[in-house]
């Protein structure tokens, strides 16, 4: 009895849709005026995200750094003070992801960005009022709303960037959003310095920055198109998609990209991936390894120990006796180092691909965790070890921003096709925000119980993530989304 060959999916369109690898035009050659406005709006969304995260976390960081062992024994009032940051901000983030899952494929990426910038504007107003109303419940509500806005930005910005960017520069364009996240965090840090706005009276002025940026985004979004992939593949409007692509590109001939979209649409039909909701997505067997991969990637980026680094920086300042002005200068310098690292990553992601910087970043984080544990443990006995701890913290942050921080934004969207991409973002960022929430809840208690040895609890997760991604993650640089599906089938 002859054995039947497994059925393979044949795509009837040409797959020659990307620029030849031997010809590498400058990024400027891909940037039209409409594309520049579209990516700028997206970047400003992540700028708000980074600014908001530091805006609500900065007071908690200072509080933890000044906490003595005697004060920490009574944690009831402590958790009450920290609840806006540790509890309500992440809960708001998860709520935002739920909204994203229900709205993004129904109303489109542009409409959701417009809605979320409006939400960010009101969140900014609520944060300003929370400083004047003096009601703790209102403060919780304000942090919940700003968390909800941050949750939507974290998902919608990279999704929109992936779908409007040309394939040859898709990685660098999406990774650049991490640069604007860092710039937002830097601006918030600088405005939060005691000599500027880092006091109770200056907090409303810090909060209104979010509203100002959101207003600019709302105005710019009026000139931005919807994602051409969403228009053609999900709304079945080829004429409109062709018109949008012409406005986003520097050339009139978009036939190759239209054929690529048709190819992706045909692949989804043949693979039975149309009309995919979250429940159906989770139940289909062929999606299990990509789902596990994005959960490992997103959770692993938080379980690397990144959430505790800025707490340990403040602890090093206190032990070494560094004055507050000098400590502020060092912290600002660290933010600049992070930004420089992200700029390097933006260039590496199209030169080396996604795998090498990502895996290298996890390797640096895992090694630094061990070294940092011992220097933090003995830094009170040796003045030099305190400064060595600071060096290791900086190396850890460089490793995180070299790979796990920025590149996860690209990988998450590239592993899936149009009809399943929003569901993948929902699962990936739900894992990220949940782990961030749990990590924030237990970080301080672990520090009190184990001291610096709490970092050793993160080390196995970091190593496990490194090994898994090394074995399971395919390279996606320069490939169309359909070509990535074939690469997955060939490498797994």
Model pLDDT for residues 67-87, shown as the tens digit of each residue: 444 544 444 455 545 555 567
Task: Give CA–CA dist 225/33, Å, rounded.
Answer: 12
pLDDT on residue 17: 40
Average pLDDT, the chain: 81
pLDDT value, residue 131: 65
Residue pair 327/193 in contact (Cβ under 8 Å)? The answer is no
**Mean of the pLDDT values across residues 290-302?**
90
- Other CB atoms within 10 Å distance of the CB of residue 466: 23
User: Residue with structure tokens 């403040």?
Assistant: 314
Q: Measured between alpha carbons, how far is 148 from 150 in angstroms, rounded to an integer?
A: 5
Among 65-74, 122-131, 132-141, 159-168, the minimum mean pLDDT is found in 65-74
Are residues 145 and 122 in contact, defined by beta-carbon separation less than 8 angstroms?
Answer: yes
Residue 486 CB contacts under 8 Å (≥ 6 apart), including other chains: none
* pLDDT at position 389 over 90: no
Question: What mean pLDDT comes out for the span 375-389?
Answer: 78
Residue-level pLDDT at 78: 52
264-300: burial string, b at 16+ Cβ within 10 Å, e else: bbbbbeeeebeebebeebeeeeebeebbebbbbbbbb
Cβ atoms of residues 128 and 148 within 8 Å: no
**Local confidence band at 282 (pLDDT 50, 70, 90 cut-offs):** confident
Which residue has 């998902």 as its token pair?
155
CA pair distance 365, 386, nearest whole angstrom = 19
pLDDT digits 0-9 by tens, 93-106: 999 999 998 899 88
pLDDT at res. 374? 83
CB 295 within 8 A of CB 428: yes
For residue 62, the model assigns a pLDDT of 44
* Residues 308 and 455: beta-carbon distance below 8 Å: yes
pLDDT in tens, 189-205: 888 887 887 677 777 88
Which of the four pLDDT bands, split at 50, 70 and 90, describes residue 381? confident
Q: What is residue 134's predicted lDDT score, i.e. its pLDDT?
A: 61
Which two tokens mark 239?
């004429």
pLDDT value for 18: 41
Cβ neighbours around 430 below 10 Å, total: 21
pLDDT at 323 over 70: yes
pLDDT digits 0-9 by tens, 230-263: 999 888 888 999 999 999 988 888 888 898 888 8
Which pair of tokens denotes residue 172?
Answer: 């660098």
pLDDT, tens only, 164-189: 998 888 888 999 999 999 999 999 88
The pLDDT tens digits of the residues spanning 439-482 come to 777 776 776 677 777 788 888 888 899 999 998 888 888 788 88
Residue labelled with tokens 């359909």: 482
Read off the DSSP letter of residue 12: -
- Cα R_g (the chain), whole angstroms: 23
DSSP state letter for 196: T
Least-confidence region, from 128-142, 169-183, 320-334, 408-422: 128-142
CA distance 94 to 144: 10
Q: Which residues of 319-332 are buried (b: 16+ CB within 10 A; e: fewer)?
A: ebebeeeebbeebe
Query: How sure is the predictor about 59, in pLDDT bands with cuts at 50, 70 and 90?
Result: low
- What is the reported pTM? 0.85
CA 202 to chain centre: 28
pLDDT of residue 395: 92
Task: Tell me the per-residue pLDDT of 5-55, one tens digit each, with 9 for 90 and over.
Answer: 444 444 444 444 444 444 456 777 788 899 999 999 999 999 999 999 888
Question: Rounded to 5 degrees, what are φ and ψ at 136?
Answer: -65, -40
Asked if residue 301 has pLDDT above 80, the reply is yes
Q: Quick one: which of 154, 189, 84, 94 has its CA closest to 126?
A: 84
CB 408 within 8 A of CB 377: no
475 exposure class (CB count in 10 Å sphere: 0-12, 13-18, 19+): middle
| Structure confidence by residue, pLDDT tens digits, 138-154 | 777 888 888 999 999 99
Give the CA dihedral 135, 141, 146, 149, nearest 10 degrees: -160
């Amino acid at each position: 009895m002859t054995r039947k060959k497994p059925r393979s999916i044949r795509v009837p369109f040409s797959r020659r849709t990307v620029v030849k690898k031997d010809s590498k035009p400058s990024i400027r050659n891909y940037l039209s005026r409409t594309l520049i406005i579209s990516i700028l709006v997206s970047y400003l969304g992540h700028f708000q995200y980074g600014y908001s995260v530091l805006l609500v976390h900065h007071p908690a960081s200072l509080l933890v750094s000044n906490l003595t062992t005697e004060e920490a024994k009574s944690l009831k009032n402590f958790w009450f003070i920290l609840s806006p940051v540790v509890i309500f901000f992440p809960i708001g983030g998860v709520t935002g992801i739920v909204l994203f899952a229900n709205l993004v494929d129904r109303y489109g990426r542009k409409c959701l960005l417009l809605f979320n910038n409006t939400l960010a504007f009101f969140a900014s107003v609520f944060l300003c009022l929370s400083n004047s109303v003096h009601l703790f419940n209102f403060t919780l509500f304000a942090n919940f709303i700003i968390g909800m806005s941050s949750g939507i930005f974290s998902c919608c910005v990279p999704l929109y960037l992936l779908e409007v960017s040309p394939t040859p520069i898709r990685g660098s364009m999406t990774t650049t959003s991490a640069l604007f996240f860092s710039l937002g965090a830097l601006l918030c840090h600088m405005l939060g310095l005691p000599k500027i706005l880092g006091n109770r009276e200056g907090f409303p002025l810090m909060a209104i920055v979010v509203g100002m940026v959101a207003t600019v985004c709302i105005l710019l979004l009026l000139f931005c198109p919807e994602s051409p992939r969403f228009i053609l593949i999900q709304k079945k409007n080829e004429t409109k998609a062709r018109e949008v692509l012409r406005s986003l590109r520097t050339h009139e001939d978009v036939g190759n990209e239209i054929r690529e979209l048709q190819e992706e649409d045909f692949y989804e039909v043949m693979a039975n991936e149309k009309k995919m909701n979250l429940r159906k997505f989770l139940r289909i067997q062929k999606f299990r390894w990509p789902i596990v991969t994005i959960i490992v990637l997103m959770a692993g980026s938080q379980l690397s120990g990144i959430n505790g680094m800025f707490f340990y920086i403040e602890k090093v300042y206190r032990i070494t006796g560094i004055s507050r002005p000098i400590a502020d200068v060092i912290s600002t310098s660290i933010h600049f180092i992070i930004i420089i690292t992200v700029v390097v990553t933006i260039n590496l992601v199209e030169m080396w691909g996604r795998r090498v910087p990502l895996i290298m970043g996890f390797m640096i984080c895992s090694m630094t965790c061990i070294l940092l544990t011992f220097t933090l443990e003995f830094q009170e006995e040796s003045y030099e070890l305190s400064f060595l701890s600071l060096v290791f913290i900086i190396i850890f942050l460089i490793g995180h921003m070299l790979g796990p921080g920025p590149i996860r934004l690209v990988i998450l969207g590239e592993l899936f096709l149009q009809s399943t991409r929003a569901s993948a973002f929902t699962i990936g960022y739900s894992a990220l925000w949940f782990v961030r929430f749990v990590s924030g809840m237990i970080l301080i208690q672990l520090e009190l119980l184990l001291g610096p040895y709490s970092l050793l609890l993160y080390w196995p997760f970091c190593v496990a993530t490194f090994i898994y991604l090394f074995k399971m993650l395919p390279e996606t640089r320069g490939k169309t989304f359909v070509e990535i599906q074939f690469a997955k089938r060939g490498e797994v």
